[in-house]
Amino acid sequence: ETGVTQTPRHLVMGMTNKKSLKCEQHLGHNAMYWYKQSAKKPLELMFVYSLEERVENNSVPSRFSPECPNSSHLFLHLHTLQPEDSALYLCASSQEGTGFNYGYTFGSGTRLTVV
Partner 1 sequence: QKEVEQNSGPLSVPEGAIASLNCTYSDRVSQSFFWYRQYSGKSPELIMSIYSNGDKEDGRFTAQLNKASQYVSLLIRDSQPSDSATYLCAVIQLYSGNTPLVFGKGTRLSVIA
- Cis amide prior to 8 (ω within 30 degrees): yes
- Contact window for partner 1 (CB under 8 A) among 21-29, 49-57, 62-70, 74-82: 49-57
The answer to whether the beta carbons of residues 93 and 27 sit under 8 Å apart is yes
19 binds partner 1 (CB under 8 A): no
- What distance in Å separates the CA atoms of residue 29 and residue 12, rounded to the nearest whole number? 30
- Least separation, in Å, of the C-beta of 98 and partner 1? 9
Q: Which residues of the shown chain bind partner 1 in the complex (CB under 8 A)?
A: 31, 33, 40-43, 45, 48, 50, 55-56, 88, 90, 96-97, 99-109, 111
